[in-house]
Amino acid sequence: MEPYSKSLELQYEQPSQMESNGDTKLNLNCSNAKKGWISAIFILGASFGLNISSGAWYTNLIVFLISVFNIKNIPAAQINNIFSGLICFFPLIAAIFADSAFGNYSVTLISSIISLLGVIMFTLLVTLKSMRPPHCALNSTTCIPPTTFQYTFLYIALTLASLGLGGTRFILGTMGADQFDKPQHQATFFNWFICSLYVGWIIAYTLLIYIQTSISWALSFAIALAANLLAALLFVAGSRMYRKIPPQGSPFISIARVFVAAFRNAKNQKSVVDGEDDSYFHESDESKLAYGAPTNTLRFLNKAAMIKRNDDNHELRGTISKSWSQCTVEEVEDVKKLIKIMPLWTSSMLLSGAIGVILSFTVLMALVMDRRVGTSNFKIPAGTFTVITLIVTAITSSMLDRFIYPAYKKVTGRNLTFLQCIGVGHVSNILASIGFALIERRRLELVRAQQLMDQPNAVAPLSALWMAFPLAILGVGEGSFFSPEVAFYYQEYPKSLRSTSTAMVSLHIAAGYYLSSAFIDIVGRTSSWLPNDLNHGRVDYAAWVLAVVAAANFGYFLVCAKFYKYNHRSSPGENVVVPEK
């Protein structure tokens, strides 16, 4: 009876022990999540301050170039798009440094200091008269252009400020997501990260632009200087709490090794040792069980992980190790992930390009529309109108987890996928382009009806508030796809490229801005639609062309999305954006 009683005792104790272990694991996960959100607050606060700081020079850059530096309208829009592209290109450079050598924390800290230097230079530009050309009245034909020295100082300031902003914008997002273990928490963080980013820009587009146009440029940059300094101090204050993922060496060397090894091993054949298929090189025995043989997708790359054998006696040749002729299955699969995702990434370039063109048209059209509010003499600054898109984007981003995703699941019974969210952005671009085309057509009709063609840059009797409708549509689309796209790349890219993954979003935005600048330049060179005086042009035609291009790109995206298969398979809910209950 004694052994039997002991067996019963064990039977009843084991479930209790398992339950205890489960509770411990649950408590540990909750504790990690709580600690992650505390760290995330410092990161979100630093991002918020840096966005306010950069907003002083970036959000109203076109007006700054026209009114302070006497640069003409179209060249000012092109300079704005070029540096907007740089802002979005620099995150990739920062991510490479972070992933390869320095880590997210060091790169962010250095970038915030560089940003501070750029804001200081902008402050000098607006406070010292010798740093800018003499003030020129709007629409005057006798404006003195900037000197070579003034142009040089301006471009150095723009470069430093762009480098600082680009080096912190998405690196902070990656660092914040690294504070969490669960994909659901990471996706939620990205929603709040994008929301805080846009709230910071909203303050810049309203308060700072109002100060610039109604009070003083110098005061706005003083506020920006203080915001940048406080953001850097807040980021440093949370240093002890951050989970700092150490750099794992350059992932790009690993990518190059896969292609070189695949080429070198092109003629190799599978080896069978002692009757067992042992053809591929794995990182460890555990990864061998997890990965198995490489997938059949892009099979030519599998040769890179194939273990060499001696052709004479069919024995394994030497010690297996990583080299330019031998990679692991993990490295091969990581490269396949990058190749699979590139078509989707390229479809996003025109998505960003269309947004860049629309926002440029917004400022230029606002300058020749009635910007008064009601019957008062107060005029909304031309650069402030794009804040409508920011407000709607921030609202949409903040509603994703708690309202939009649950509502979609309740109606359809399915979760909303990342790619479906991105598709909403494509559709919104098409609709916004059509909206701007219709508004500009009506504006030109009023200009002709009122016989204002002979007056340089005459203001049409049409309220600029009409642009709120297409701008709101653009904001809904951007809010729906931006944070899901960042989370999509973060989860689908290899772990060694986590910083680079979010920077790739920024990179396609950079490419989009350059495409937008190229679009404006090509349309300006090949037609008379975009003259310096928009009343003699046809911006509506350009908007229609943009709508057609955006529609064609949407078709390309649908094809890419149809054939894409998610890489993240650890649980069914990780390849969709789902709010955690």
pLDDT band at 290 (very low <50, low <70, confident <90, very high): low
pLDDT band at 322 (very low <50, low <70, confident <90, very high): low
End-of-domain residue from the set 303, 331, 359:
331
Residue-range definition of the domain harbouring residue 305? 251-331
Do 272 and 344 sit in the same domain of this protein? Answer: no
Phi and psi at 318, nearest 5°, equal 65, -165
Decide if 422 is inside a domain: yes
Do 255 and 242 sit in the same domain of this protein? Answer: no
pLDDT at 452 over 70: yes
End-of-domain residue from the set 331, 349, 372:
331
CA dist., res. 374 & res. 57, Å (int)? 29
Looking at residue 54, its pLDDT comes to: 85
The contacts of residue 558 (CB under 8 Å, 6+ apart) are 423
Decide if 22 is inside a domain: no
Nearest to 239 by CA among 468, 53, 38, 376: 38
Looking at residue 573, its pLDDT comes to: 34
Lowest-confidence segment of 243-252, 272-281, 318-327 by average pLDDT = 272-281
The contacts of residue 452 (CB under 8 Å, 6+ apart) are 458, 460, 535
User: How big is the chain, counted in residues?
Assistant: 581
Decide if 581 is inside a domain: no
pLDDT at 8 over 60: no
pLDDT at 448 over 80: yes
Decide if 388 is inside a domain: yes
Taking only the tens place, the pLDDT of each residue in 104-134 is 888 888 988 898 898 898 888 888 888 777 7
Give the 3-state secondary structure of residue 367.
coil
Decide if 64 is inside a domain: yes
DSSP states of 385-454 as a string?
TTHHHHHHHHHHHHHIIIIIHHHHHHHHSSPPBHHHHHHHHHHHHHHHHHHHHHHHHHHHHHHHHTT-TT
Per the model's pLDDT, the better-predicted residue between 82 and 575 turns out to be 82
Do 231 and 356 sit in the same domain of this protein? Answer: yes
Looking at residue 456, its pLDDT comes to: 77
Do 192 and 303 sit in the same domain of this protein? Answer: no
Looking at residue 545, its pLDDT comes to: 92
Do 469 and 520 sit in the same domain of this protein? Answer: yes
Do 343 and 406 sit in the same domain of this protein? Answer: yes
Looking at residue 251, its pLDDT comes to: 66
pLDDT at 559 over 90: yes
Decide if 12 is inside a domain: no
Do 338 and 476 sit in the same domain of this protein? Answer: yes
The mean per-residue pLDDT over the stretch 205-230 comes to: 86
Looking at residue 386, its pLDDT comes to: 82
CA dist., res. 464 & res. 439, Å (int)? 9
Lowest-confidence segment of 9-23, 26-40, 52-66 by average pLDDT = 9-23
pLDDT band at 292 (very low <50, low <70, confident <90, very high): low
Domain of 168, CATH number, reads 1.20.1250.20
Lowest-confidence segment of 185-189, 244-248, 401-405 by average pLDDT = 244-248
pLDDT at 197 over 90: no
Do 316 and 409 sit in the same domain of this protein? Answer: no
Distance of CA 186 to the CA centre of its chain: 15
Decide if 13 is inside a domain: no
pLDDT at 500 over 90: no
The mean per-residue pLDDT over the stretch 285-290 comes to: 62
Looking at residue 17, its pLDDT comes to: 43
Lowest-confidence segment of 21-35, 63-77, 370-384, 457-471 by average pLDDT = 21-35
Per the model's pLDDT, the better-predicted residue between 575 and 333 turns out to be 333
By the 10 Å C-beta count (0-12 exposed, 13-18 middle, 19+ buried), 186 is classed as buried
pLDDT at 15 over 50: no
Do 370 and 239 sit in the same domain of this protein? Answer: yes
- CA angle 443/444/450 to nearest 5° reads 90
Question: In percent, how much of the chain has pLDDT > 90?
Answer: 10
Q: What is the pTM of this model?
A: 0.68
CA distances from 94 to 91, 98, 317 (A): 5, 6, 40
Do 415 and 430 sit in the same domain of this protein? Answer: yes
pLDDT band at 557 (very low <50, low <70, confident <90, very high): very high
Per the model's pLDDT, the better-predicted residue between 375 and 233 turns out to be 233
Taking only the tens place, the pLDDT of each residue in 374-383 is 777 778 878 7
Nearest to 533 by CA among 458, 421, 475, 441: 458
The mean per-residue pLDDT over the stretch 94-102 comes to: 78
DSSP states of 257-316 as a string?
HHHHHHHHTTT----EETTEE--B--SSHHHHHHH-SPPSTTGGGGGGGBPPB-TTT--B
Q: In which residue are the tokens 């107060």 written?
A: 378
Decide if 21 is inside a domain: no
- CA angle 470/91/336 to nearest 5° reads 95
Work out how many domains the chain is built from and give that number. Answer: 2
End-of-domain residue from the set 331, 358, 377:
331
pLDDT at 74 over 80: no
- The mean pLDDT of the chain is 78
Distance of CA 57 to the CA centre of its chain: 19
Nearest to 382 by CA among 361, 406, 401, 402: 361
Lowest-confidence segment of 11-25, 101-115, 424-438, 498-512 by average pLDDT = 11-25
pLDDT at 53 over 90: no
The mean per-residue pLDDT over the stretch 72-86 comes to: 76
Taking only the tens place, the pLDDT of each residue in 474-499 is 999 988 888 888 888 877 877 767 66
pLDDT at 250 over 70: no
CA dist., res. 164 & res. 167, Å (int)? 5
pLDDT at 265 over 60: yes
Nearest to 550 by CA among 333, 351, 332, 277: 351
The mean per-residue pLDDT over the stretch 58-85 comes to: 78
CA dist., res. 293 & res. 278, Å (int)? 9
Do 433 and 548 sit in the same domain of this protein? Answer: yes
Do 234 and 255 sit in the same domain of this protein? Answer: no
The mean per-residue pLDDT over the stretch 279-302 comes to: 72
Per the model's pLDDT, the better-predicted residue between 439 and 284 turns out to be 439
Lowest-confidence segment of 19-28, 169-178, 317-326, 423-432 by average pLDDT = 19-28
pLDDT at 9 over 60: no
